[in-house]
Amino acid sequence: MVFVTRRPPLFLLLAILWTGVGPDLAVGQSPDSTIVELPEVTVEAIRGAETEASAPFAVTVRSRSPAEVSLTASTSLDDVLRPLPGVWVNDRHHFALGERISVRGVGYRSNFGVRGVQVLYDGIPLTLPDGQAFLDVVEPAVVRQVELVRSPASVFWGNGSGGVLFLSSSGTAPPPNRIRVQGGSYGQWQGLVEGGGTVGPWTVHGYASGQRQEGYRAHSQGYRVRAGGTARRALGPDTRLRIVAAADQQDTENPSSLTREQFNDDPSQARAAFVDVNAGKQSSQVQLGASIDHDLGGATLSGTAYGLRRALDNPLNFAFVRYTRWSGGTRFTLRRTEGRLQGGLGVDAGIQSDDRIEFTSTTPDGNPGPEVGLDQLETVLNGSAFGYARLNATDRLALTGGLRLDQMRFEADDGLTKDGDQSGTRTFSSVSPSFGLSFDAGPAQVFAQYSTAFETPTASELSNRPGGGGGFNQQVEPQFTRGFEIGARGAFPEARLQFDVALYRLEVDDLISAYEDADGRDVYDNLAANTHDGIEASLTWQATDALEVATRYTGSRFVIDESNDDSLVGNRVPGIPSRRLYLHTEFSHDGWWGRISGQGVPSYYTNNANTAEAPRYVLVNLNLGHRGIDMTGLTLKPFVTVNNVLNERYAGSVVVNAFGGRYYEPAPERSFSAGLNVEW
């Protein structure tokens, strides 16, 4: 694929008023810390190629403070990611489908799982070789650091890397040993055990949690359990080993989405067709990975191997989906970090095997019907090689560049041949370049970059053929994205201010778009081309040692430029608001810690035709807790949370292009929760 811009990028949004919150987010620092400068934090989300301070692209590293980790509910990833600029998170408030995550509009089509954004958890990819990710295994209550690359990043990660989200359960300090319990509105309950220490040569950290809810909406109750841990040790003076494991199991109901009339009449109701078949999800996942880093003196050789197994039973109103998935991969990187010319070389390989069976119906008790409509083994293989370089041309100016080659093969082995053998293959390849520069202008690091991303249809998207049946959809092709951005980030230490601003354009060709058929099945095709223009701005002010004020603004204009349907040309891309304003005040006094946060979102379209909208809303949340009450060897940390203080009626998520106008997934009304940490 040759990346040629349709027209020169126009950053017309320079006139937009910018406000926001900084890239390192003193949000993630305790209010008794002082902002000095952007830290030299190596960004693992780009394989250690740059630090946050030097990167020639938009990146946010957010370290969550011990107070935030302990004294906020953190029952969903929305609680963790909402303070980040450039990312849009839809929380469905039930466990069946997970959060819908989009970065600069990339991934907006996903109605289940995550598309177009590379996600890693403690260094292990959650994004599969086919480009989809499921985040059930992530425990938000132990996430201590978040790295978000908002630029296209296929040069580092290949398929499905329109952005990168790196989540870590390890922070800058060892986590405490603790037991945590909390409960709240709509039958919400969660228990968590976490601890760590030194065992011989190993440094270990582990956790286990359980969560249950009755749910705000009918037919949305469920439970899930999670566990995970890391173990580290030195194998010699220059070699380090890390082992990572995580697992989850859940059983949950699915209330589906509603029409606008149903949403207005009673947002707590469920879709009758889903209730009739006891629609929901039963799933389990376990994953294991190991990585080794060896210091060569001025260079580092790193290797990682990982694997996972996932099983799913998914009763729906139009089918019963069941699969067992095995996936794994390896990656190796040689990275030079000293001298005027720095950079790295690497190779990646991955495999995915989905043993998929779909029954044509679901019985009223949620079991598969008698007739099999699809029975096939889907295999995905990928291999890639990449290189990147950074030339420190002067003490202030740096030039960067990179190139990656990817080759992918999708195979379908049809096990249901009554209508003929539908076995087949799809092969895709891509070349992903990037170029950038950064200039140290004193208080600010100024940068500009051109980067690219490609995204193949996933195995499940290829399997969802119009009209059903086995094999792969031979019509849908990969989509390609070219990204242009300029920006600056830095700090004014004396004023205790930290800032970040970026302007960008994404040009997306052969856009993969989903539409829902009459049965509720998602079917995919290439819509044509989109242009995404936007601005992201952030500001953090450490007013005093005990008071922090932060704000961030995300503005965007995402337009359908070309389409197979001429009536759609010029329409706005659905599922993403054109503006989002977030702000919070965080304070501490006499052992107490609190945060008041607000988010304003205008109405936004829910379909390509721009004939329906999700309503606008202002969401205000309140957190209050105590940093620690000493009880003779134990420390008690109580906390309370009030969500949706203004009792707004709004859609926490939408189903883009849903059939029959069923776009809306309502969020709860005002809700309360309280909890207690016991630490030692």
As a whole number of angstroms, the distance between CA 48 and CA 490 comes to 20
246, 122 contact by CB (below 8 A):
yes
Q: Determine the pLDDT at residue 518.
A: 66
Q: Determine the pLDDT at residue 435.
A: 97
Rounded mean pLDDT, 181-198:
97
- Comparing 33-47, 217-231, 448-462, 493-507, the range with the smallest average pLDDT is 33-47
Rounded mean pLDDT, 316-330:
95
Pairing of strands 164-168, 118-121: parallel
Q: Determine the pLDDT at residue 49.
A: 74
Q: Determine the pLDDT at residue 520.
A: 62
Q: Determine the pLDDT at residue 311.
A: 98
Q: How far is CA 58 from CA 169, 258, 547, in A?
A: 23, 36, 27
Residue type, 502: A
Q: Does the pLDDT at position 31 exceed 70?
A: no
| Residue 22: both structure tokens together | 């900084």
* Residue 413: partners with Cβ closer than 8 Å, 6 or more residues away: 376, 377, 378, 379, 423
572, 103 contact by CB (below 8 A):
no
As a whole number of angstroms, the distance between CA 490 and CA 445 comes to 6
| Residue 34: both structure tokens together | 């002082």
Kindly report, residue by residue over 202-261, the tens digit of the pLDDT.
999 999 999 999 999 999 999 999 999 999 999 999 999 999 999 999 999 999 999 999
Q: How confident is residue 71, by pLDDT bands cut at 50, 70 and 90?
A: very high
Phi then psi for residue 459, to 5 deg, are: -60, -40
Q: Determine the pLDDT at residue 472.
A: 86
| Residue 147: both structure tokens together | 């790295």
Sign of the torsion angle spanned by Cα atoms 172, 178, 182, 188: positive
Rounded mean pLDDT, 569-585:
96
Q: Using the 8-state DSSP alphabet, how is residue 298 labeled? A: S
As a whole number of angstroms, the distance between CA 75 and CA 151 comes to 28
Q: Does the pLDDT at position 43 exceed 60?
A: yes
As a whole number of angstroms, the distance between CA 655 and CA 260 comes to 12
Residue from 76, 156, 153 nearest 117 by CA = 153
Sign of the torsion angle spanned by Cα atoms 156, 160, 165, 168: negative
Kindly report, residue by residue over 368-422, the tens digit of the pLDDT.
999 999 999 999 999 999 999 999 999 999 999 999 999 999 999 999 877 788 8
Residue from 532, 439, 527, 553 nearest 484 by CA = 532
Q: Determine the pLDDT at residue 33.
A: 40
Which residue has better confidence, 462 or 212? Answer: 212
Q: Determine the pLDDT at residue 525.
A: 85
| Residue 582: both structure tokens together | 């977030």
**Helix and strand numbers, DSSP H then E, in the chain:** 6, 38
Q: How confident is residue 516, by pLDDT bands cut at 50, 70 and 90?
A: low
Rounded mean pLDDT, 587-612:
97
Kindly report, residue by residue over 470-494, the tens digit of the pLDDT.
778 888 899 999 999 999 999 999 9
Q: Does the pLDDT at position 6 exceed 70?
A: no
Residue from 204, 211, 149 nearest 186 by CA = 211
| Residue 588: alpha-carbon gap to chain centroid | 30
Q: How confident is residue 73, by pLDDT bands cut at 50, 70 and 90?
A: very high
Which residue has better confidence, 288 or 443? Answer: 288
Q: Determine the pLDDT at residue 554.
A: 97
Residue from 580, 571, 585, 642 nearest 617 by CA = 580
Q: How confident is residue 21, by pLDDT bands cut at 50, 70 and 90?
A: very low
As a whole number of angstroms, the distance between CA 655 and CA 659 comes to 9
Rounded mean pLDDT, 173-181:
90
Q: How confident is residue 509, by pLDDT bands cut at 50, 70 and 90?
A: very high
CATH number assigned to the domain covering 12-679: 2.40.170.20
Residue from 149, 178, 146 nearest 65 by CA = 146
Kindly report, residue by residue over 523-571, the tens digit of the pLDDT.
788 877 999 999 999 999 999 999 999 999 999 999 999 998 899 999 9
Rounded mean pLDDT, 343-353:
97
Q: Determine the pLDDT at residue 519.
A: 64
Q: Determine the pLDDT at residue 28.
A: 38
As a whole number of angstroms, the distance between CA 633 and CA 361 comes to 57
Kindly report, residue by residue over 609-638, the tens digit of the pLDDT.
999 999 999 999 999 999 999 998 999 999
Q: Determine the pLDDT at residue 629.
A: 96
Q: Determine the pLDDT at residue 217.
A: 98
Q: Determine the pLDDT at residue 13.
A: 33
Q: What DSSP string describes 205-254?
A: EEEEEEEEE--SSTT--EEEEEEEEEEEEEEETTEEEEEEEEEEEEEEE-
pTM listed for this prediction? 0.91
Q: Does the pLDDT at position 292 exceed 70?
A: yes
271, 280 contact by CB (below 8 A):
no
